[in-house]
Amino acid sequence: MKKWGFLICIILIGYTLTQSPAALSGNKEMPIVILDTDEKYAGYREVASQDTKQRIHKGNLVLVNSEHPIHQEGVRSDIVHVADEEDLLRGYGLLDHRLMLSREVAERFQEMVEAAAEDDVRYFLMSSGYRDFEKQDELYRQKGSDYALPAGYSEHNLGLSLDVGSSLASMSEAPEGAWLEKNAWRYGFILRYPKDKVKVTGIQYEPWHFRYVGMPHSAVMAKNHMVLEEYLEMLKEKKDVTVDLDGETYHIHYYHVLKDTKIYLPEKDSYDISGDNMEGVIVTVKKR
């Protein structure tokens, strides 16, 4: 396991996206527009910063690596035994019937593999999902650092990540691996450890390891060829960005949570809040 290094390579352009998700498979970068500072908080309400600090370590965008371990509040509260949920078992096989995962993530995964089946890609296996700290520690002691991470430093301890296989071949060669690498972003997933980002993530290429971050974040990362480290750094730098995607407009606000930081939430629009597991909180607003 290589030590974690940090490389930032962000390519952004400043116009609004009007293409559909199907058109996003081209070579153009995902457009990002900086919000007008004078207008961005119209229709928002201020939230006490002490309430927001509790959110730094939980949410779909929390960064977990050798420098940023999971806090207990970051573990998903909707963890289920996938084999016990009949409505979640369509379109793929389970290698371990004890496997656990966030129910929401399992639902999104099932939606994704059912879409793949429409492209005649249908031999998916779910091989690993959520592990508690005790299981992660056992795995680390048995397999060592070349195979596993210490307890609390693995994304599998969140419930947001899963390892995906194919019954045809290894994921680096199977149609299932190729399909996911191209299309997973459409369902809120990212390939967490790409081949050409080892210096950024500190983890060797893992074509089987997918992480749920949700939309529009997965789309922005895919189009700008970012991993989570780079995406969070971009949000921290830009503070406020807008993404127009398939007729939907998302406003993404980054807050560096300090003692007197003002946080704003929309009065009417739907929104999601996630910490970055470092020092910030991201509010993603879907405009009506």
Question: Active-site positions?
Answer: 206
CB 84 within 8 A of CB 97: no
Q: d(Cα 29, Cα 224) in Å, to the nearest integer?
A: 6
Q: d(Cα 176, Cα 174) in Å, to the nearest integer?
A: 5
Residues 6+ apart with CB under 8 A from 271: 265, 283, 284, 285, 286
CB 95 within 8 A of CB 82: no
CB count in 10 Å sphere of residue 237: 10
From first CA to last CA, the distance across the chain in angstroms is 45
Burial label, 38 (beta-carbon count in 10 A; 0-12, 13-18, 19+): exposed
